[in-house]
Structure 1
């Protein structure tokens, strides 16, 4: 059976793997139709993601079809189209016992810590499948990215009357924006790529955009937007140590800073920048099962439109040639989709 592996830094390799065995109790055999390429996949490919080991079959943003189910599976049936919740939690550790399965101490994320969906088919725990009778495989492949943003927005919890800032308009920042805009907060976004800010203005009607130049002009723009108050909720979705270290300077008194992007570098700031406003710093990791259910419903009823997200598309045969281009912001990529079968 065909699969594609990230064999070493910046190297994709076609391989042959065994066909999956018959699904055991609680398992499902699924066929991969679509894989979304996200920032995690790019970081893994570039050798920058902290939880990734080579070699590995990537693929955790997936739209799949159920081929067979094992004993005891009742949530999905053969032929169902599903999104996959790729976080394989243990159910026994301290975090799991508290219901924080996204923070499982033994967590294995498919496509990152175990082989993922860039193959023809594979076995998965059926409880991790979220079916939809209405969505297509492209839409289902985007549910996981949206779930990351959903959870990040919940961690910041912007309220009516708040000014909220999202830094970084890549897929995770856009996913956070999808849910921040459903609140009554006043939303601003910042990026150093003008094309991404144009995309946000045209797609979402967000006029409070901030172009980061690093010369202090971004602070002036923020003061203009907020009347000098700055931001009650900031979400940094960049994964860039400089952005993440500097984000506290934009915070309002008693405000919160949410880190959803990941870096392996140290973050540094002088303590008064946190102490003076009595700021809260929180992290956002992965997502929870209800996020997937909520997102599928929001796409089904038209509240979220995923069509503008997909800017690039390739298939299983061409991905070896095309993947490198997905790592380059100058190509204008927001979200690339791989048509697997």
Structure 2
């Protein structure tokens, strides 16, 4: 079978390797579509905090069940599924408290362990979720939606809240959709005007901010939008010190700040602003089983057209070009999908 591998930063290949052997409690899956996550792009660029090499990327996907034993979920060969890709240890303090998404020893497919960008993979049956008839291409985007949805859930958004999403990539745009679904007045910010305009126009957001790097101009736009108050909620979906600072600065006194983005750089800032504003700052990592189940139902009910987030589709053999194009044109591309 064919497998995509990142040998080192900037070096992606499609190689031949043996088919996986299914173990008891696992299903053999034929991968249908896989999305290139920001973490996969970071692995390609050498900027992802959790990357090592060589690495098979991929954890956003849909697949057809080829072989599976009888199971309580009622999953059978021929069904199209997605999966929870965050492997928790089961014995750390977080796991003991049921916080499986932030396991101290978490290993996410494609990050700390090899991912699913192969024609066939095996996974534990309990990690699989029935796609309930959703198109395979749509189902491949459920996992990043879960990442965004989980972060938005941490924010405690109330109807009518003014919310700023910093970052108009896939995770930020999906976070804007999730925040809007909770009744918020949502604005999105990015360096790339094209991405801001696409998110606002495609998903009916309240407005957008193009941040040119001028902090004073950025803050003035935020204050103009909120009549000088700042945003009730700000959500960081990039993973840089500058964008986290944007979220701190744009938040209202008593506001909530959520960090979804992952980065490697340290930050130096006047932390007393947290005390002065009495900010509530939340980290958001991965997602929970309930997020997957709720969002599959939400999309199935027609609440969100997830395929609008997909801007580019490549074949498996074109995977090296997909990574290179995404790297060079990230300002013009949202979700990049590989068809297996």
Distance 1:19 1:34, change over 3 A: same
- Cα RMSD between the aligned structures? 1.5
SS of aligned partner of 1:12: strand
* Matched residue, 2:244: 244
Q: Does 1:273 align with 2:278?
A: no
- Compute the displacement of 1:307 (Å): 2.1
* Matched residue, 2:128: 129
Alpha-carbon separation, structure 1, partners of 2:204 and 2:2: 43
Q: Does 1:337 align with 2:332?
A: no
* Matched residue, 1:177: 176
Q: Does structure 2 conserve the Cα–Cα contact (< 8 Å) formed by 1:85 and 1:129?
A: yes
Alpha-carbon separation, structure 1, partners of 2:69 and 2:10: 37
* Matched residue, 1:221: 221
Q: Does 1:22 align with 2:22?
A: yes
Alpha-carbon separation, structure 2, partners of 1:328 and 1:244: 24
Q: Does 1:285 align with 2:289?
A: no
SS of aligned partner of 2:113: coil
TM-score (norm 2): 0.96
Of residues 244-253 and 230-239 in structure 1, the stretch that sits farther from structure 2 once superposed is 244-253
Of residues 263-272 and 296-305 in structure 1, the stretch that sits farther from structure 2 once superposed is 263-272
TM-score (norm 1): 0.95
- Compute the displacement of 1:271 (Å): 2.2
Distance 1:22 1:219, change over 3 A: closer
Q: Does structure 2 conserve the Cα–Cα contact (< 8 Å) formed by 1:23 and 1:68?
A: no
Query: 1:183-198 counterparts in 2 under 5 A?
Result: 183-198=182-197
Segments of 5+ residues of structure 1 without an aligned counterpart are none
SS of aligned partner of 2:126: helix
* Matched residue, 1:206: 205
Alpha-carbon separation, structure 1, partners of 2:129 and 2:219: 42
SS of aligned partner of 2:235: strand
* Matched residue, 2:155: 156
Of residues 66-75 and 312-321 in structure 1, the stretch that sits farther from structure 2 once superposed is 66-75
Alpha-carbon separation, structure 2, partners of 1:207 and 1:300: 25
Q: How many residues are aligned here?
A: 339
